[in-house]
Structure 1
Amino acid sequence: MPTPTKGPRLGGSPAHERLMLANLATSLFQHGKIKTTETKARRLRPLAEQLITKAKRGDLASRRRVLTVVKDKDVVYSLFDQIAPRYANRNGGYTRIVKTGPRKGDAAPMAIIELVEELQVAEPKANKKTAGRKAAQQDKVEALAPADEAPQSRPADQDAEAPQSVSGDTVAARKDSDEATENKA
């Protein structure tokens, strides 16, 4: 059983607090950012991050768990299909709290809680060393393959170009350079 929150609840009973946080989470996912008191924003942050983490899983059980908190099916759909994929490479820290000035009527400290915008999903860059190693491995495989198992060639009426390596050298150019190095030795 979860440990109850110490101190006063936000607005009354624990049930009212849960409903209020669920409504704040719904508004956050619907609009991307909301302005609320600093205390409510701090209480909302862990709940919103847990819901996004569940949405990243994307399975039916996670969708049902999120639906127990966020009652609006359109918001749940946008959470699973638009918001969660943006944070695929991020392990946490989906929200940001920015403090603003005090509220005019009662001087309560106000804050804006917003979803952190992930610009783009970064593609892993190919390493130059691994590309060179793969090309060398491919050359070894070609050299070790028997000639009778060579792939079927094109018909004679089609012009076939000489294969090129990753560096751009043709087979004939490589043979010439290999013979030149053998003659020097």
Structure 2
Amino acid sequence: MNIVVISGSARPQRRSHQVALEVQRRLSNRQHSCSLLDVKALNLPLLENTLAETANPSAVLKETSASIAACDALVVVSPEHNGSYSGALKNTMDYFYQEYSRKVFGLVAVSSGMLGGVNAARNMQHYALRLHGIVYPEFLLTPKVQTLFTDGQLTDEGYGQRLDKFLDGFLWLAEAIKGAKEQKEK
């Protein structure tokens, strides 16, 4: 299965990126093709036109579009900023639309507080549905992210178990949808 993990923060001291890297690592360890789209590395300008409305899209836009279009599913990892998901994530994702249609979305919210980004997760759910995505109904909430990693390594076994359970369910849905699509194409 081809999965894209979107790391949704552009801030200098972003901790949610560690979570995105851990998700990517665990998916790769399960023998899935897994690429990372990092909104900070992409550094797309403020949206003026979507890709479809851009006369001469950059190579970065074309490559990002192709990566999303080719994937079977996406895991979106975002910190909670002011009660919602990251503005940089929204700006980056808004460049594309058709690429998301009928793709399974797994949503991971990250927070330094106790609630784990629940507001960001709910808002991402509405957004993914608007993009005609199929949202895995269980969010992975990540409270107190600052306590989970040491030198880039996940050290909290409880969170690792919750992450694995989330990925089990997400992959089950993604594989079921992929199978249904393949069956319809026959």
TM over 0.5: no
Which of the pair is proportionally richer in helix?
1
TM-score range, shorter chain: under 0.3
Bigger radius of gyration, 1 or 2? 1
Q: Larger RCO: Structure 1 or Structure 2 (Cα < 8 Å, ≥ 6 residues apart)?
A: 2
TM-score calculated relative to the size of structure 1: 0.21
**Higher share in strand:** 2
TM-score by length of 2: 0.21
